[in-house]
Amino acid sequence: MPRVLVTEPIDPAGVAILSQVAQVDQRHNLTAAELQACIGEYDGLLVRSATKVTQGLITAGHNLKIIGRAGVGVDNIDVPAATRQGIVVVNSPEGNTIAAAEQTVALMLALSRYIPQANQLVKAGEWNRKEFLGVEVYKKTLGIVGLGKIGSHVATIARAMGMRLLAYDPFISQERAEQLGCSLMELEVLFREADYITLHIPKTPDTTHLINRESFKKMKPTTRIINCARGGLIDEVALVDAIKAGRIAGAALDVFEQEPPAGSPLLLLGKEVVLTPHLGASTIEAQSNVATDVAEQIRDVLLGLPARSAVNIPGLSAEVLTRLKPYLELAELLGNLAGQLAGGRVETLGVRLQGELANNASQPVVIAAIKGLLGPALQERVNYVNAALEAKERGIRVVETRDESMRDYSGSLVITAQGSQGEHSVAGALLGTGELRITSIDGFPISVAPTRYMLITLHQDMPGIIGKIGSLLGSFNVNIASMQVGRKLIRGDSVMVLSIDDPLPDGVVSEVVQIQGIQDAYVVNL
């Protein structure tokens, strides 16, 4: 039975799902060294934001097939390292959207009305009403940085509270922003106009310290900032200085550059700041959603099925897989065949998607062709996760073309492998019954069902040549299951495809190429 390690608390619903297919170990307080020491025993790892899934940990996890993040942000996981090792990384992109948006609005209101500070004083026996004169959010301007899932829901709530909405998100259309009642603008303008600024972007090298010392200089002294996205988006030292200097009015933070923020000067600030311990996703509903979502994906991957929200195999959801499955098999087979015909080092792999395959949702078909090409060399080390990266790292250029107008089959593929020993192309399609067919080799039309062992020749079409090959194979006790010739001209260059029942014994090919008229012969094992 596979084993899954859960390193942080998750909803029991997730554990129940994992237990259907795996032995689940919940070990929540492992040190980095303890985790490193035991990770090699596990097929799956499930984390939240506190576990640092580093390159070293991934290397030690030599049995890992999947890393699940019960939440959105995968910045605590070295995704490129997982990809290189062929490990699927999944998250729950929508499970905690509402929770994080509501936490953002709660923080905005808490900051405006000093609710945590007032609560603390009342509990301490004080009744100080003068100290907590707040501000209203009604008719104030909210600047939303990142108008994705959480930013959009914040916009919807804030709009209902009568706020004017500005947004900065270079990857969102004007139309989408308008639907949400937001005016899209440059960040600098948003800094100048907003009374509240809320961040809803991922942490990347580009967004680290997006809000910095210079940014604060552009804001109004009444501006309040909310960060419920990721620590490190705001330069905390600059933030503390800006608040102390009265450059801005305050901040509410759920996330920190270092968590917990032990020793941070933020902890010494007064009522201008409200701090929560990364609680954005901490609702009963969100925790149930994310645990279920990610556990189901881990279960599916351990059962050999695709994950619906893999962050490193884009587009390979269960729905896409069901639709494309036969084409993925076809692409893998043709990639493998083209690579074997090309023989030596392949420099360029051409993938031509025709007919119904010529739409963007067919991207996994290209990955399948790469997987097929690299399969003979890398065996099970190449998979849908790392195939594209493996090709890139080997300097193999993948050239993709599309032709919607092609109508010979509803969808067909042409794979070309060009390398040190020349170029070969193979085409294939699906029959109405769903069976795979190789429909041409090097441009010669054929219709051959792929089999495990094949002998393919390029030869000149002439009387007697088929008989000679048949006799030769017979003398080696090789049984031919089927044979087909494809040619463009009578007595011209042709291709012959022989399906044979067993692997071809050594020495046969060198004798085949001695037959007069045979130009080349290839042993293919699919």
Ligand X SMILES: NC(=O)c1ccc[n+]([C@@H]2O[C@H](COP(=O)([O-])OP(=O)(O)OC[C@H]3O[C@@H](n4cnc5c(N)ncnc54)[C@H](O)[C@@H]3O)[C@@H](O)[C@H]2O)c1
Is residue 446 classed as helix, strand or coil in its secondary structure? strand
Residue 279's nearest CA partner among 255, 263, 260, 257 is 255
Q: CB under 5 to 8 A by kind: which of ligand 3PG, ligand X, none does 293 bind?
A: none
Residue 513's nearest CA partner among 462, 460, 457 is 457
**146 near ligand X, judged by CB under 6 A:** yes
Q: CB under 5 to 8 A by kind: which of ligand X, ligand 3PG, none does 19 bind?
A: none
Residue closest to ligand X (Cβ): 148
Q: What residues contact residue 129 under an 8 Å CB cut-off, 6+ apart?
A: none
**150 near ligand X, judged by CB under 6 A:** yes
Q: Which two tokens stand for residue 226?
A: 């909310």
**229 near ligand X, judged by CB under 6 A:** yes
Neighbours of 138 (CB within 10 A): 8
Q: Which two tokens stand for residue 282?
A: 């901490």
Cα radius of gyration (the chain): 30
CA-CA distance, 448 to 484, in Å (whole number)? 7
Per-residue x/- mask for ligand X, residues 442 to 461, rule CB under 6 A? Answer: --------------------
Q: Which two tokens stand for residue 161?
A: 């509270």
CA-CA distance, 140 to 223, in Å (whole number)? 10
Q: Of residues 206, 270, 379, 510, which one binds ligand X by CB under 6 A?
A: 206
Q: Of residues 49, 198, 440, 457, which one binds ligand 3PG by CB under 6 A?
A: 49
Per-residue x/- mask for ligand X, residues 10 to 49, rule CB under 6 A? Answer: ----------------------------------------
Q: Which residues, 226 to 245, sit near ligand 3PG by CB under 6 A?
A: none
**175 near ligand X, judged by CB under 6 A:** no
| CB-nearer residue toward ligand X: 254 or 300 | 254
Q: Of residues 201, 243, 330, 465, which one binds ligand X by CB under 6 A?
A: 201
| CB-nearer residue toward ligand X: 127 or 171 | 171
Q: CB under 5 to 8 A by kind: which of ligand X, ligand 3PG, none does 68 bind?
A: none
Q: Which residues, 84 to 103, sit near ligand X by CB under 6 A?
A: 96-97, 100
Neighbours of 148 (CB within 10 A): 18
**7 near ligand 3PG, judged by CB under 6 A:** no
Catalytic residue status for 186: no
| CB-nearer residue toward ligand 3PG: 95 or 335 | 95
Minimum gap (Å) between residue 349 Cβ and ligand 3PG = 36
Q: Which of 34, 126, 186, 259 is catalytic?
A: 259
**73 near ligand 3PG, judged by CB under 6 A:** yes
Q: Which of 200, 278, 352, 424 is catalytic?
A: 278
| CB-nearer residue toward ligand X: 280 or 339 | 280
Burial class (CB in 10 A: 0-12, 13-18, 19+), 183: middle
Per-residue x/- mask for ligand 3PG, residues 95 to 134, rule CB under 6 A? Answer: -x--------------------------------------
Q: Are 360 and 323 in contact (CB under 8 A)?
A: no
Q: CB under 5 to 8 A by kind: which of ligand 3PG, ligand X, none does 48 bind?
A: ligand 3PG
CA 373-374-375 angle, 5° bins: 95
Residue 90's nearest CA partner among 70, 64, 110, 106 is 70
Q: By rule CB under 6 A, what count of residues binds ligand X?
A: 30
> Which range touches ligand 3PG (CB under 6 A), out of 45-53, 60-68, 219-227, 241-249?
45-53
Residue 424's nearest CA partner among 340, 347, 338, 517 is 338
Catalytic residue status for 259: yes
Secondary structure E strands in 386-504: 397-403, 411-419, 422-430, 436-441, 444-448, 453-460, 480-487, 493-500
CA-CA distance, 424 to 68, in Å (whole number)? 41
Peptide bond before residue 116 is cis, with ω within 30 degrees of 0: no
> Which range touches ligand 3PG (CB under 6 A), out of 65-73, 161-169, 359-367, 443-451?
65-73
Minimum gap (Å) between residue 299 Cβ and ligand X = 23
Minimum gap (Å) between residue 96 Cβ and ligand X = 5
What number of helices (H) and strands (E) belong to the chain? 17, 22
> Which range touches ligand 3PG (CB under 6 A), out of 280-288, 299-307, 328-336, 439-447?
280-288
Q: Are 228 and 104 in contact (CB under 8 A)?
A: yes
> Which range touches ligand X (CB under 6 A), out of 148-156, 337-345, 397-405, 457-465?
148-156
Q: Which of 48, 200, 230, 247 is catalytic?
A: 230
CA-CA distance, 478 to 482, in Å (whole number)? 12
Q: Are 204 and 182 in contact (CB under 8 A)?
A: no
Q: Of residues 26, 54, 207, 348, which one binds ligand X by CB under 6 A?
A: 207
DSSP code per residue over 117-186: HHHHHHHTT---SGGG-----TT-EEEEE--SHHHHHHHHHHHHTT-EEEEE-TTS-HHHHHHTTEEE--
Minimum gap (Å) between residue 101 Cβ and ligand X = 8
Per-residue x/- mask for ligand X, residues 58 to 77, rule CB under 6 A? Answer: --------------xx----
Provide the binding-site residues for ligand 3PG, judged by CB under 6 A: 48-50, 70-73, 96, 278, 280-282
Catalytically active residues, by annotation? 230, 259, 278
Provide the binding-site residues for ligand X, judged by CB under 6 A: 72-73, 96-97, 100, 145-151, 168-172, 200-202, 206-207, 228-230, 254-255, 278, 280-281
